[in-house]
Amino acid sequence: MGLLERLDAGEVVIGDGGFVFELEKRGYVKAGPWTPEVCLEHPEVVRGLHREFLRAGSDVMQTFTFYASDDKLCNRGNEAGVKFTCRQVNDAACRLAHEVAAEGDALVAGGISQTPSYLSGLGKKATQAEFKKQVDVFVENKVDFLIAEYFEHVEEMEWAIESLASSGLPVCATMCIGPEGDLHGVSAGQCAVRMARAGAHAVGVNCHFDPFVSLEAVRLMKEALAEAGLKAHLMAQPLAIWTPDTKKQGFIDQPEFPFALEPRIMTRWEIQKYARQAYELGVRYIGGCCMFQAYHIRAVAEELREERGKLPAAHQKHELWGGGLLLHTKPWVRARASREYWSRLSPATGRPYSAALSRPAGWGVTAGHQELLQHKEPTTQHELDAVNDKFKEAEA
Ligand code: MET
Ligand SMILES: [Zn+2]
């Protein structure tokens, strides 16, 4: 069954988790450019990560094509100075996703994301030309559906949806926004309305915020869609870290981004709560983004086992609510084999004197950088340009 048949029948579709952050940690993606050359450089690593998510219960193998538009990939050669084209990266990514999807009953989704062309103000034609190159490869590779994800300006998202819809394939659209809406001041609700009107079959959010903040944004989207009399499936692929303290741009604005976020990682039990709340809100495409690992996806599949009527292969090594601990040698650990225990536990950070909320280190940076670290996040291209100018001054 295809994506829309599954969603129209009210089934839960479980997405995958984070590739770009995970592979950065493993040493295959560079933070900064965040591009997915690894699909060609170390295909076995990408294949292995797809397999982990499949085993954990993902119904979708999403091509690792984040930031894989030509305008983003150009001048991003690997250490050997070899450059890969959009066509090469997207084609390799499609093959890897297909290969693993065939090992289960998974769907393959081709994914596109925001482009430098849009941010540099090159306009609709140039931006869509970038999307089209990716879509052509997805269509040739016969993916099952398409996802436009990680857009923070609804205008670019509309252009992306238009490009994807021209393929005739089902289109999912998630913006990396929270309840405050996009970076142009468009509310979350209006973003959903505009995504649905542009032709998206499923709309929602991905990345940038924690599962609970993200669901708040999806709730606003749901209300606005109902008010506008529009029908679209709801989708959520949030971070697997806590971001109760973020501003408009989510975890990008946290001082810990991107190299010190580990203390914020959610437990599997917290992700189970997310899965339940997402389901109750009516979200039927439930997955994850950055920091979401296979055990988090397994937690989604386990929480929704009755609704789905099945459990994933990885469940063989994980009994519900820590049941496997009954085989532990120590009786006080055996006593933890219960829902009562894990659903009520409040974990510590383990860091002496650690705080719940963060503060950037203030030493070792220039006055110019110091000012940048305190910046109020830009919400328009004009403001972003001004901050970039300041950055250049600070560097000079
Ligand atoms: C920064 S968002 C990245 C989304 C993409 N699907 C990934 O997992 O890598
Ligand atoms: Zn992400």
Percent of the chain whose predicted confidence (pLDDT) is above 70 = 94
Q: Does residue 77 have a pLDDT over 50?
A: no
Region 102-117: mean pLDDT is 97
Q: Considering every ligand atom, which ligand is closest to the CA of 240? A: 2
Q: Determine the atom of ligand 1 nearest the C-alpha atom of 111.
A: 6
38 lines ligand 1 (CB under 6 A): no
CA of 227 relative to ligand 1 center, distance in Å: 31
- Residue 222 tokens, joined: 């749901």
- Any atom of ligand 1 within 6 Å of the Cβ of 290: yes
Is residue 81 over pLDDT 60? no
Ligand 1 lined by 20 (C-beta under 6 Å): yes
The DSSP letter of residue 380 is S
86 annotated ligand-binding residue:
no
Residue 25: pLDDT band with limits 50, 70, 90: very high
Average pLDDT over residues 312-322: 97
Pocket test for ligand 1, best of 16, 21, 66 (most atoms within 8 A of CB): 66
Task: Please tell me the least confidently modeled range out of 201-215, 283-297, 324-338, 359-373.
Answer: 359-373
Torsions phi, psi of 60, nearest 5? -125, 130
Report, as an integer, the average pLDDT of 32-46: 97
Query: What CA–CA distance (Å, rounded) separates 147 from 134?
Result: 11
- As a whole number of angstroms, the distance between CA 291 and CA 254 comes to 15
Which of 67-76, 90-99, 193-202 is least confident? Answer: 67-76
Mutate to test the pocket of ligand 1, among 289, 296, 297 (most ligand atoms within 8 A of CB): 289
**Structure confidence by residue, pLDDT tens digits, 149-179:** 999 999 999 999 999 999 999 999 999 999 9
Q: Show me where the domains of the chain are located.
A: 3-318
The answer, yes or no, to whether any atom of ligand 1 lies below 6 A from the CB of 68, is: no
Helix ranges (H only) for the chain are 3-8, 20-25, 38-41, 43-56, 70-73, 86-101, 116-119, 124-140, 154-165, 188-198, 211-227, 268-281, 294-303, 305-308, 331-334, 339-344, 367-373, 381-395
In the predicted model, what is the mean pLDDT of the chain? 93
pLDDT of residue 325: 97
Least confident range from 235-239, 255-259, 350-354, 378-382: namely 378-382
Q: What's the mean pLDDT in 313-323?
A: 97
* pLDDT surpasses 50 at 371: yes
289 is in an annotated binding site: yes
- Could you check whether the bond before residue 258 is cis, i.e. omega within 30 degrees of 0? yes
Instruction: Give the span between the Cα atoms of 335 and 80, in whole angstroms.
Output: 54
Lookup result for tokens 């393929």: 167
Mean pLDDT value of segment 20-37: 97
Mean pLDDT confidence for 191-211: 98
Q: Over the stretch 220-257, which tens digit does the pLDDT of each residue have?
A: 999 999 999 999 999 999 999 999 988 889 999 898 99
Q: What is the structure's pLDDT at 236?
A: 99
Residue 361 has pLDDT above 80, yes or no: no
- Provide CATH code, domain 3-318: 3.20.20.330
The CA 187 to ligand 2 mean position distance, Å, reads: 21
Which residues are found with C-beta within 5 Å of the ion, ligand 2?
A: 207, 289-290
Rounded to the nearest whole angstrom, what is the distance from the C-alpha of residue 237 to the centroid of ligand 2?
8
Q: Does residue 375 carry a pLDDT above 70?
A: no
Name beta bridge partners: 203: 173, 234
SS (H, E, C) 124-191: HHHHHHHHHHHHHHHHHCCCCEEEEEEECCHHHHHHHHHHHHCCCCCEEEEECCECCECCCCCCHHHH
Taking only the tens place, the pLDDT of each residue in 111-147 is 999 999 999 999 999 999 999 999 999 999 999 999 9
Can you give the pLDDT at residue 76? 47
Which percentage of the chain shows pLDDT scores above 90?
84
Q: For residue 206, report the distance from its CA to the centre of ligand 2, in Å.
A: 7
Residue 9, pLDDT above cutoff 80 = yes
Strand duo 202-206 + 171-175: pairing: parallel
**Rounded distance between C-alpha atoms, residue 190 and residue 261, angstroms:** 31
